[in-house]
A and B are shown apart, each in its own frame.
Chain A
């Protein structure tokens, strides 16, 4: 007897088995599954195996929007199964390729259904469509699925005043299955338990009968689920260039003014679900006018049904914000890149301080909501010109007294408040700063003055205010590919690499985001970026290739 096909929809749980903050363990056709409902209601059906060390995810922790493996605390995002945090590499953003195997899930008739293989539509059960559905107690049978199916009551055998159950079988393994019964009518509240008990009793009698038959049959060989080799790179917190990721189309589901001169966009997927979000990440938005702009995602970890970005109107800018404000409307389509994260959030800090200037709130809001969901201590300081300039004020209200609003301060007042907010540095305290250049410079200067070490001060600039001197020429040698190339005056390393067929992912191309960073093996870089801090600059072992250059005649890169 051949096993039931993988390319079909089967129930794997009752809807209430995916209980709040619980991870349900199931098995389908020899494959173990972890079934969990996130706080946004989404039901996840995943391979029951952490791809790090293979531990069952069903013994892990449902943290609301992320599932945390019990063994080494790797966190995986609701919906996509992508890794959002690796405690052993707290400062790194996990590569996008670290993603658990997920299966499609849908809820019908009070049951959770999945399909292991193939792109097949769920076939609705006519009898249960339109009317009510009342799921009975699911019963595991220690008997082959086909044998059980043959013995299930046909027609009206189990009928009664409360209706006729419709039966579904979850083939667990060659010698095990779970039977789900669904009634077409929901009984009156005072009859509920009696109806459930009556049907449970009948199904148990049937089980006793079928298990007795099964015990006389030769035991079938267990089904062996094909497992794919987990794709965990050796360099798990590797730089962004090691991951691909393609553009995808999204639709503007909502556009609204979230603060004076700031418009927020809610971007919904069209074809494919949106990729995994890590707090601090940004996307490239390809505008209909042909230009590309970077915007931080405000979504906290695991909350990624739709992306939310905010765009400040910058009349003096290159025109991207004006275009988004004036030309892009609800219902319009945009093309975006997969998220990249060069502003990763550590979740091992004793205290985290977030300092936002104006529109700089966007990545910090995603961090704040992630920390709040994790129950980790933080304070979010928002500096704005006026109360009207506070973005996402409802979400800020939701964070309660973890948010401190500083309104209408001049530069000196801002610096004084930042000094107060930071206080003396203590071990395992971290600060994240995002805002306009002058404010960010001031915050970094203050932190340095009061003794905060570089590794505890994390920042992200919107733009690079530096004048880039491109007047010198030098040679680059690519250690891994064996190429030696000439970088002439007026051209960037990135441009020369691209012209010679060396693909490197970039984003802002002005030395702010850090996407195109490369390791330096030998040589003496001149840093023109605003991504590296002073310690990293002095180390001279990394270079932002879109703007920085070489003081030595030759630069050896790890490419």
Chain B
């Protein structure tokens, strides 16, 4: 059984919950009292992760920290389709790695601004917000051209593939919760449409602050009972 050291409001923990749901992988969530208990900074938790942060994933004897590394591990190990982390396509894999590093940037700006606003972290929030806007501009343009290239029928994802990869999941919650850090998405229409697409994936799960979108097609109307 996989164990995830987890906190409901953490974007980095949510990335793991989301991927494990999309891959239909069972896991046990062990809540860490991140706020206000600072349990991740406790001596006991530092035995699990000396850096004192979450998430940490334990799979049997294997222990892994750092959100984006865990995404790579889970996809490589538990995705039989090989799509989420495409190890047999070097060019695509390089692109995925590139955007995973980009996601470090969105986490350290947009999601850090959220920690400032929500939990009172003492960060230079103006610099964080400006940094997030710089990254969002780049991503919005990238996704806009990806949409143009994919055409009306092909959904556009962060990496140049007709399916999402772990790069989408690494960036998604940082973007989706940016307004909690005072970062408006008004200027980024392609980014907003991409968040709709992520939220329409099968087995998508929510977290506080991330809301559902409407189905692209209406659900079944006729009820099972009562037909004659």
Partner-A contacts on B (CB < 8 A): 141, 144-145, 148-149, 185-187, 189, 192-193, 196, 211-216, 218-228
Cβ of B145 and Cβ of A351 under 8 Å apart?
no
Q: Which A residue's beta carbon lies closest to that of B144?
A: A137
Partner-B contacts on A (CB < 8 A): 13-14, 17, 19-22, 24-27, 32, 59, 61-64, 68, 70, 137-138, 140, 172, 176, 178, 192-193, 196-197, 200, 351-353, 368, 371-379, 399-402, 404, 417, 420-421, 423
Cβ of B192 and Cβ of A64 under 8 Å apart?
no
Nearest-neighbour CB distance to chain A for B127, whole angstroms, equals 15
Cβ of A63 and Cβ of B227 under 8 Å apart?
no
Cα-based distance from A355 to B187 in the complex (angstroms)? 50
Partner of B213, one of A21, A172, A192: A21
Cβ of A193 and Cβ of B148 under 8 Å apart?
yes
Q: Is the interface of B mostly helix, strand, loop or mixed?
A: loop
Chain A residues closer than 8 Å to B145, beta-carbon distance? 137, 193, 196-197, 200
Q: Which A residue's beta carbon lies closest to that of B212?
A: A61
Given contacts A372-B221, A377-B222, A379-B223, whether A25 and B228 have CB atoms under 8 Å apart is no
Q: Which B residue's beta carbon lies closest to that of A140?
A: B187
Cβ of A61 and Cβ of B228 under 8 Å apart?
no
Cα-based distance from A376 to B227 in the complex (angstroms)? 15
Chain B residues closer than 8 Å to A13, beta-carbon distance? 189
Cβ of A17 and Cβ of B211 under 8 Å apart?
no
Cβ of B214 and Cβ of A420 under 8 Å apart?
no
Cβ of B221 and Cβ of A351 under 8 Å apart?
no
Cα-based distance from A374 to B220 in the complex (angstroms)? 9
Most buried by A among B144, B189, B192: B189
Given contacts A192-B148, A200-B141, A379-B226, whether A21 and B216 have CB atoms under 8 Å apart is yes
Cβ of B228 and Cβ of A404 under 8 Å apart?
yes
Cβ of A377 and Cβ of B224 under 8 Å apart?
yes
Cβ of B214 and Cβ of A68 under 8 Å apart?
yes
Cβ of B226 and Cβ of A423 under 8 Å apart?
yes
Nearest-neighbour CB distance to chain A for B79, whole angstroms, equals 28
Nearest-neighbour CB distance to chain B for A251, whole angstroms, equals 31
Q: Which B residue's beta carbon lies closest to that of A61?
A: B214
Q: 12 other contacts beyond A21-B215, A379-B227, with CB at 8 A cut-off?
A: A21-B214, A25-B192, A59-B211, A137-B141, A193-B145, A351-B226, A376-B221, A379-B222, A400-B222, A402-B223, A417-B228, A421-B226
Chain B residues closer than 8 Å to A26, beta-carbon distance? 186
Cβ of B148 and Cβ of A63 under 8 Å apart?
no
23 residue pairs of the A-B complex, CB under 8 angstroms, read A13-B189, A14-B189, A21-B196, A22-B192, A25-B189, A59-B211, A61-B212, A63-B214, A137-B144, A176-B187, A192-B148, A193-B145, A197-B145, A351-B225, A352-B223, A368-B221, A371-B221, A375-B215, A375-B219, A377-B220, A378-B221, A399-B222, A400-B222
Chain A residues closer than 8 Å to B226, beta-carbon distance? 351, 353, 379, 421, 423
Cβ of B186 and Cβ of A70 under 8 Å apart?
no
Cα-based distance from A24 to B192 in the complex (angstroms)? 8
Cα-based distance from A137 to B224 in the complex (angstroms)? 47
Chain A residues closer than 8 Å to B223, beta-carbon distance? 351-352, 377-379, 402
Cα-based distance from A26 to B187 in the complex (angstroms)? 8
Cα-based distance from A215 to B228 in the complex (angstroms)? 71
Cα-based distance from A420 to B228 in the complex (angstroms)? 8
Q: Which B residue's beta carbon lies closest to that of A352?
A: B223
Chain B residues closer than 8 Å to A137, beta-carbon distance? 141, 144-145
Cβ of B222 and Cβ of A19 under 8 Å apart?
no
Cα-based distance from A366 to B15 in the complex (angstroms)? 42
Chain B residues closer than 8 Å to A24, beta-carbon distance? 189, 192
Chain A residues closer than 8 Å to B212, beta-carbon distance? 61
Chain A residues closer than 8 Å to B224, beta-carbon distance? 377
Most buried by A among B144, B221, B227: B221
Q: Which B residue's beta carbon lies closest to that of A417?
A: B228
Cα-based distance from A24 to B190 in the complex (angstroms)? 10
